[in-house]
Amino acid sequence: MSSQDNASLAEQADRHLWGHFSSLGRSVDGMPIIERGDGCYVWDNHGKKFLDGLAGLYTTQVGYGRTELAEAAGAQAATLGFFPIWTYAHPKAVELAARLAALAPGDLNRVFFTSGGSEAVESAWKLARQYFKLMGEPLRTKVISRNLSYHGTSMGALSITGLAAVKGPFEPLVPGAIKVPHTDMYRIPEHAKDESYFAEEIEQAILREGPETIAAVFLEPVQNAGGCFVPPDGYFTRVREICDTHGVLLVSDEVICAYGRIGAMFGSERLGYQPDIITSAKGLTSGYAPLGAMLVSDKLAEPFNGTDEQFLHGYTFAGHPVSCAVALANLDIFEKEDLCGNVMANEAAFRSSLDDLADLPIVGDVRGMGYFYGIELVKDRETKESFSYEESQRLIRGFLSLRLAELGLICRADSRGEPVIQLSPPLIAGPEEFEIMNRILRQTLTEAMAEMEKPS
Ligand SMILES: Cc1ncc(COP(=O)(O)O)c(C=O)c1O
């Protein structure tokens, strides 16, 4: 593109595009406009190359420029460009549902498609409510989830979300969304006697609210917001027990953690627990077309099976034929290139490329699994002293986000909890990409320490 075209694109973006979770009208010369991609790399409209250390938004598992996916989309659009799955079916939705059921752990044999992750979470809460009404337990309407967690933006999913800052403007939200502690093993609260505290807090919440009122617990295998909180050993085994004791459903929100992100097709499989529902999206199509899927156990489908009861819920674009065709081609690549195997084989190398930064005093904690890692930044490593809110903003928004992009690394610098940098590269990444991430992070964090020494 000529520089004149670029200027006009930036101007139009500034005037007309409403970016998500973005400031309006402040982006000229600031907001990168990403034009194309290949493998783990993307290029902006000025031709600048970036390593995409975030896989879009935890999404492009197979990387960019995969012609197999483009061809699958084109062929399906030419054959049947659209048809809903409301009282009809089409071959690609059927084929994909059967394939996901075969991949999913245990008896998660029913697939309810959505257009994305928030809709999958919304659907799970609604299904849990309708299920319990049909089972003669109409009081079971509430849900439990963790502080700081992000589960989406529709009103139900936002209520399940535990981030006060993104909820405030929309309150009052859906009542009955209870919060429990997230599994921050770096900052275990003083009153916690040991690691069992985190799961026991879920049982305490159930008992406090009344078990007969709780429909489901929503948990990510590894919690994204707050910076890749990995659960302690035994956490999910105990949560499963607690749910079974109190007749509560366990929903594994795997919008990020499914499809290889933490080294297995499903995060629950990697961590060894059996959910009643898995919510997923993102990596299902590697982002080449929008699609989400709620995977449901036979037990939950039973009261709807062969009866007049319908799950009274749906979305026009859910299970879109083009998206389903892309998902099938995406899963073919997973198999052909053994992407889960690639993540498992490289996980230790990825981790050590990040652990290598631990000599920098600003690095407090490195945590995560698979290709999903967070680095928590601290003011004082000895005491784990945090940056103040203003310092965090200065560090993250004022410096790190801009500097990382300048140096050619897309990753997430986030201050919704403690300041963290998150890395979640395409699952095809390997040692070359780890080396680039390490180098750019080392330079940026070194500069950030000097920056934070300056008077504000
Ligand atoms: C765990 C989790 N649940 C739900 C969502 C919402 O998904 P979407 O943005 O596709 O609506 C996200 C998005 O990042 C997520 O990380």
What amino acid is encoded at 431 in this protein? P
CB 220 near ligand 1, within 6 Å: yes
CB 254 near ligand 1, within 6 Å: no
Q: What stretches in the chain show pLDDT beneath 70?
A: 26-30
Where in the chain are the domains?
A: 32-62+338-453, 68-336
Cα 424 to ligand 1 centre (Å)? 15
Encode pLDDT of 336-348 as tens digits: 999 999 999 999 9
Task: Please tell me the predicted confidence (pLDDT) of residue 193.
Answer: 85
CB 117 near ligand 1, within 6 Å: yes
Task: Please tell me the predicted confidence (pLDDT) of residue 28.
Answer: 47
Instruction: Choose one of 160, 282, 412 to mutate for the ligand 1 pocket test, by most ligand atoms within 8 angstroms of C-beta.
Output: 282
Cα 55 to ligand 1 centre (Å)? 14
CB 121 near ligand 1, within 6 Å: yes
CB 321 near ligand 1, within 6 Å: no
Encode pLDDT of 189-222 as tens digits: 889 888 999 999 999 999 999 999 999 999 999 9
- Domain with residues 32-62+338-453, CATH architecture: Alpha-Beta Complex (3.90)
CATH of domain 68-336: 3.40.640.10
pTM over 0.85: yes
